[in-house]
A and B are shown apart, each in its own frame.
Chain A
Amino acid sequence: MKATPLSNCERRFILRAIEERKRLDGRQCYDYRNVRISFGADYGCCIVELGKTRILAQVSCELVPPKPNRPTEGILFFNLELSPMAAPGFEPGRQPELLVKLNRLIERCLRNSKCIDTESLCVVAGEKVWQIRLDLHLLNHDGNIIDAASIAGIVALCHFRRPDVSVQGEEVTVYTPEERDPVPLSIHHMPICVSFAFFQQGTYLLVDPSEREESVMDGLLVIAMNKHREICTIQSSGGIMLVKDQVLRCSKITAVKVAEITDLIQKALENDQKVRKEGGKFGFAESIPNQKITAFKMESATVDTNNVEEQAEEIITKADPPSEVFAKPILHTPGTAQIGEGMENSWGDLEESEKEEAVEEEGESEVTAFECEKIETEDTSTMRETKDEPIVLSDSEEEEVVILEPQELPKKTRTQTSSKQETTSKKAFNKRRKKKRAAH
């Protein structure tokens, strides 16, 4: 599906609005859109909505051998997918430049900032470690994917619980959630990305650009920071030149936004934990607002299955009973048999047609096939192959055999009767069996 292009009028309109410090959705320049976090029923699963941008995150784990150069560290794997659902321009199985760039940023934000303690993921040094895998799926693209992805990623990692393990000697036991409570990952800090879009060569600046704004921006600055005001990653793209003050201003804004978002994340995590502890309802179903008219819920409904047996029985008895078996297999040669009739197989007709041909060809001295294959079992008594003489094979009365003596001029021996009996001999190689065909 093709991406919808942005018209020139739209482009001009947005840029003009930005010059007048107005945004399409009514936000101020430094305003962040609403962030909403909802958790799934599984651990390590969440959906983060940043305005209309929506990202699904899922963390999973697996026991694997560690990398040889880091035998005591767990393995982290991050993968962001741009689902074709998110925007019409995204195609499955393609790696557009944007995706590569985003994945690099996620790597830098979550891996290189060392926010996850990888050493705590080691089970047996050099043998078994946990591999933590974070899958991020963009579900709806309304700009600023990276911020939403970084929030979703860190929330999912904080929410995730891996199975507890114990090591006794060489035995590694993995406990089910029923046996032992799963363990959370040890997370040192929460890096969060904040994006700034620049317009008119850096004159105007917007926080958290929407998709439309992104499509007209000149450059983008992404700063990843944790709540301790430590910058984890900073990246400017789009080829604009920024003044030092601008970068500093951005980092100050980032600090404020990160503090707000971190608070929100912590609140959301606490809330979810509380609900789970108290045995309340949780999962995506709870995150659907009841008052929305586009949403509808139905409580568990009973289906009357009282007399399904009778009804099913009725259908079966009404149907015709299984018919008698008609088809009788016809055995051609050991290992080959046939049932049914009707449409002729384009491979199968060779036996008959070649027989006909053979009649025509009688007398011509053309070579038709090499034949000096050993023939097993019952045929060996009459069929023998000798080295320097033409090979003679003939026990079956009606079988025609053509032999090529490879050294000299081709000779052939053919014995044939015109009877059309079913072949009893087994011809090993040249497939000239005759079939008794029902059609005749």
Chain B
Amino acid sequence: MNPRTRLWLVATGGAGLAALLVAACLRLPDFGGDRHPYGDRAVRASLERHVANTVASVNFDQRAFDTLGELTILFAAVLGCMVLLRQTRDEHRAPPEPADVALPVRRYALLVLPVALLTGLYVVAHGQLSPGGGFQGGVVAATALHLLYLGADYRALERVRPIGPYEAGDALATSAYLVTGVAGLIGGSAFLANTLLPYGMFNTLASGGTVPLLNAAVGMEVACAVVVLLAGFLDQAVEIVEEGEDGERDDDGHDHEEPGK
């Protein structure tokens, strides 16, 4: 189909969908309305179980089964990336040249790295109290690790990141979530039931029964998953070369290229 025809199709379809969406928007309850039956019930249920952050209670208790699904999507996407970005028969690895990063950048990276890791842990740990949790904190911690690539070079990162343990950690954290769920089933009530542990003092780190456990499992899963994911891309972009392709001469050796290539 030539671009012109396609544009016509997009215009027709887009116009129809736009009309539909606008008509629907006009019939939606006004923005900021007061009717949120499910939301109000969720807040009450969260307070009953001594979880200060209602969102965490919805995520890791009331709708923990959804989170299991999301967690699995994450797990599957990472496993899929690993398979898709594997080194194939016609490729080999060429170790990159050490990069030469300016001293201030290097110092900044080394200074911020521990701070960022701590922040990640803090965000995970306080998940059931204040905004944050396993999903956010895991990403922060994993991103922090890659300051080593930005501030030093890929080899420095590889030294602290043997990929095997992270892959195993990813899978084990997923299993931990599932095992907690099955424990709920065996412990007499239902799958993922939060009835095994005491709910603790409201607004403390140990409150909420299994919520902190599931939260921690998610944090570990996400952190490991992101590390593995980025490892796949970094390997492809920096190390893996096809037959006949030049190795990376210089880690920053980008040719000056016209954009839009």
Q: Do A and B bind each other?
A: no
Question: Could you tell me which A residues sit within 8 Å of B by CB distance?
Answer: none
Q: Which B residues contact A (CB, under 8 angstroms)? A: none
